[in-house]
Structure 1
Amino acid sequence: MAVSTSAGSPPSVAASPGTAISLRGLSKHFGDVKAVDDVDLDIADGEFFSMLGPSGSGKTTVLRLIAGFEQVTAGTIELAGEDVTAKAPFDRDVNTVFQDYALFPHMSVLDNVAYGLRVRGIKKAARRAQAGEALDMVQLSHLGNRQPGQLSGGQRQRVALARSIVVRPKVLLLDEPLGALDLKLREQMQVELKQLQRNLGITFVFVTHDQEEALTLSDRVAVFSEGKIVQLGTPREIYEQPSSAYVASFVGTSNIFDSTTSSRLLGREGTHALRPEKITLHPSGSTITDAGVIRTEGVITESIYLGTGHRIHVRLHDGTGIVVLEQSTGGKTDDQRGDEVLATWSVDDLVPLT
């Protein structure tokens, strides 16, 4: 799949076969603000694709441009090879699931799900049968006669999903659909959403500011900043090989060593990232002689119990602060503030940053 994020990319680059969405030179300006700035992107048929970034990074605006809710300032949008840049939302084979569900409160759950089929002129018996099948997919067939107000947040979100998939769009756009749910329910819905996407084979485009959610769900992730894609790759590539200090810091937690610290501490030029789970702490004075291992002494300034592990803050003897993530084990005594420790990590775990 062809993809480019550079400002000089020509908009005439052809999309690859099997491409569900192709964006070329896509820009959206609101006055002097460049909400989306010359984005080129291909999303494959049947892909679970996430757009990840903080508020104001441009990810939601790209979603709205694909849906047709906003008009482009420049560039083109193709869906399955068809240029839809100037087409109205109802002329695009996409559906959108919003965070606020947007269900009709006066309709039953079944009628809410069947509404899109009704608009398309499907006869009553057929649309109710298809709506029932969609409710089966989200495990809510037993609640078809209820009103939305009688459902929990998670159930309403499932209804919104069923309403969107019942018309079998080529692309389903999801605008932070799990943001209003509590943590436990959100984690459960993540699993169900991924299974649903696999079963349907529909292209899902998911917008989120939650990096864990993006890594959990996605085949690929585009990380946005200031209207541009700053890195595009699989979840593993984004996490293990961040391209910049911005990505390393935004996607998970990283220890960032600037050029001065890298030279002093690592004996290397340039800026580097090191994930907290790659660091091992030993009692001060331990003898570690493994080749390719960096060793440095420090003192624990904070130890935070997380249930599954500890997040430990260490001040190294040169003044550098690092964060270490240790998994909980039955035989290890908890590290305490003030403990002298030896911190070690493999040189192979250092990621050079641009």
Structure 2
Amino acid sequence: MSTEAPAIRLSEVTKTFGAVNAVDGLNLDIAAGEFFSMLGPSGSGKTTVLRLIAGFELPTAGTIELFGRDVTGTAPFDRDVNTVFQDYALFPHMSVLDNVAYGLRVRGMGKAERRERARAALEKVRLGSFGDRRPAQLSGGQRQRVALARATVVEPKALLLDEPLGALDLKLREQMQVELKEIQRDLGITFIFVTHDQEEALTLSDRIAVFSDGRIEQLGTPAEIYERPRSPFVAAFVGTSNIFDDALSRRLLGRPGAHSLRPEKLSLAAGEPPASAGGPATGEHVAAGTIAELVYVGSVTRIFVDLDAGMRVVVVEQNDRHRGIPEERGRRVSVTWRDSDLVALGRANAAAPNDTTTMTH
């Protein structure tokens, strides 16, 4: 990641729509060459921030700088950014090559030069031999790459992507996640990616901003966001978490405050826990419970356990040849976790979706 001045800087940016604060006093720096994702549920403010950076919306208050230049009131066409939307908006009557060259044509570039630039852009997205085709002759992933080529051929300093993979099926979306990261690395420009899909953000990003109610709930690397969530909202929204509220933390953990524990950090054993199991000396906690439900999802099984202490937790076990116990509903089990895997949660900008086990897609 570059150590230069920020590619994009938002300072005390607020955007209101009537009585609603869509963006609330946002301060954010995005580095040159960074793959930066804005993640959050619908209505969290992430798309409004993208539109403010693009110039499609103007802030109610605050300033926006692009590469050291104040563009707060500048029109979209006068900013060194380009945007890729979910629907791609390709011209169906034009060839792929002419679609990619269109932005250069609007800028007055000669035909020979713009076609040469468009061919080079198609080569970068591995569609060099597709220039004569029409968009209708392409797959969804190929149309997405054409949209990327069209957006980058004009050489923007930053590319804004508004949920560009949302229309693709699961397998193609997973494939395009890898390709999109490779394209960004090859181009070396700043990508700002908006998504509500936490797995997509974790896969692609150098850093992630998790949004809630127009504010950033947490900003960090994918590992920081997942492994050390700072609030119940982040723990619940990003991945699957077992969240212990203050009362359960005091009763089960012997400590005050809310805590998060990822399902893969728990382990199961058949039967009741031995009287000597766990404790401060081992740094482990053991709780008795009953299997309530099992969900098979291919590579793993999610096992829901009702603890005797009054909380339902989810445990994830790999479906390999070393499965821990034969699981079935109603079986008595012991659930074990380590102190070092517990994450203390601070106060949130927004409440977690649930007080206990929370699952997202």
Aligned to 2:291: 300
Partners of 1:138 and 1:49 in 2: how far apart?
A: 20
Aligned to 2:130: 143
Partners of 2:87 and 2:37 in 1: how far apart?
A: 19
Aligned to 2:341: 349
Which of 112, 117, 121 matches 2:99?
112
Partners of 1:318 and 1:27 in 2: how far apart?
A: 45
Partner of 2:168, secondary structure, is coil
Contact 2:273–2:286 (CA under 8 A) maintained in structure 1: no
* Aligned residue runs from structure 1 range 146-295, under 5 A: 146-285=133-272, 287=274, 288=277, 291-295=282-286
Partner of 1:324, secondary structure, is strand
Q: CA deviation at 1:54?
A: 0.4
Which of 20, 29, 51 matches 1:42?
29
Partners of 2:72 and 2:8 in 1: how far apart?
A: 12
Partners of 1:87 and 1:165 in 2: how far apart?
A: 21
Aligned to 1:6: none
Q: CA deviation at 1:152?
A: 1.6
Partner of 1:282, secondary structure, is strand
Partners of 1:72 and 1:263 in 2: how far apart?
A: 45
Pairwise CA RMSD of aligned residues?
1.3
Partners of 2:102 and 2:4 in 1: how far apart?
A: 33
Instruction: Establish whether residue 82 from structure 1 lines up as the match of residue 69 from structure 2.
Output: yes
Partner of 2:313, secondary structure, is strand
Q: CA deviation at 1:334?
A: 4.1
- The one-letter code of the counterpart of 1:321 is R
TM (normalized to structure 1)?
0.94
- The one-letter code of the counterpart of 1:55 is S
Q: CA deviation at 1:285?
A: 3.5
Partners of 2:89 and 2:248 in 1: how far apart?
A: 51
TM (normalized to structure 2)?
0.92
Partners of 1:174 and 1:334 in 2: how far apart?
A: 45
Which of 300, 304, 307 matches 1:309?
300
Partner of 1:248, secondary structure, is helix
Partners of 1:181 and 1:25 in 2: how far apart?
A: 35
Contact 2:230–2:345 (CA under 8 A) maintained in structure 1: yes
Give the 4+ runs in structure 1 shifted more than 3 A: 285-290
- The one-letter code of the counterpart of 2:338 is S
Partners of 1:293 and 1:161 in 2: how far apart?
A: 50
Name structure 2 gaps, 5 residues minimum.
347-361
Greater CA drift, 285-294 or 35-44: 285-294
- The one-letter code of the counterpart of 1:47 is E
Identical counterparts, % of pairs: 66
Aligned to 2:352: none
Contact 2:16–2:23 (CA under 8 A) maintained in structure 1: yes
Partners of 2:70 and 2:50 in 1: how far apart?
A: 16
Greater CA drift, 282-291 or 205-214: 282-291
Partners of 1:93 and 1:185 in 2: how far apart?
A: 30
Q: CA deviation at 1:151?
A: 1.5
- The one-letter code of the counterpart of 1:221 is I
Partners of 1:100 and 1:48 in 2: how far apart?
A: 21
Partner of 2:7, secondary structure, is strand
Partner of 1:117, secondary structure, is helix
Contact 2:100–2:149 (CA under 8 A) maintained in structure 1: yes
Partners of 1:334 and 1:179 in 2: how far apart?
A: 38
Q: CA deviation at 1:331?
A: 3.7
